Amino acid sequence: MMFQGRFIKRVVILTGAGISAESGLSTFRDADGLWEQHDPMEIATPEAFARDPALVYRFYNARRKQLASVQPNAAHLALAQLQQAPGAEVFLVTQNVDDLHERAGSEQVCHMHGELQRMRCQACDSVLPALVSYDDASICAHCNTRGKLRPDIVWFGEMPYHMDLIDLKLANCDLFVAVGTSGVVYPAAGFVRQAGIQGGTTLEINKEISEVSNHFQLHRQGPATSEVTALVRELLAG
C-alpha cells in the first residue's frame, strides 16, 4: 500500500470512544455527567466493586443491554475491509469494550481494556462469555463458584491487556492511526510517541483536537464514518 508517497506494509490502528459514539453508543452520562447520581469513572474501579458490587453489576448489565441495540458503522466496516485486504498487515487495537469491530467483520481485535461481552471468575480466573445479566448470585460455569464473577474489563488502576504485543507492533509499524481517541488515558495516549520514535508516520482522525494532537504528524478532522472510509479507500487504491 502507498500513503503520502511512502510504501506502507505494517499498520497499527487505535480506536477510541469516538468511533463507537457514531454508532449511537452513549457514554452513560446524563446531562450532569452522572449515571444514577454516580460518576461512571468512580464505578469502574476495583474499590467500587468491593464496596458496592450490585451497583457495578447494574451499570455493566445496562451497558450490555444498550450495546445490543446498536450496529457497527461505516468506519468499523471500512477497518474490517482493510484488515481483510491481501498483503495488508493491519493490527487493530481498541480502547473500547464493545464488540462493534467484530460484528463489522474484523477477526483480529486487540481489546486492551477488556470486553463487555466477557466475564472473569475471580475464583478460577476463567474468562467466559458474559451472561445477558449477572450479579453476585451468579455461578461460574467453569468452577461452580457463586458470587465471584466480574466484568472482564480493565478498571482504573489496573494494567491494560496485551501491552507487550502492542509495544512490539508499535515498534515495527510504518503507519500509526488513532481514531476517535481523547488522548487522555494512558498508556494509549503515549502510543503516538512510541510509533513516531521508530520512524512511523502518525495520523490522527478526530472530530476535535485531542490532548496529544501536537504529537501527530498528520491530522484529519471530521467524523470517523467519513474520514476512516476515505483513508481506507486511499490505502487500498495505493
For residues 209 and 46, is the Cβ–Cβ distance under 8 A?
no
Can you state the percent helix, strand and coil of the chain, rounding each to 5? 35, 25, 45
Cβ neighbours of residue 111 closer than 8 Å, sequence gap 6 or more: 94, 96, 97, 161, 162
What pairs with residue 118 in β-bridges?
129
142 is catalytic: no
For residues 3 and 234, is the Cβ–Cβ distance under 8 A?
yes
- Of 113, 162, 215, 219, the catalytic one is 113
Residues that are catalytic? 113
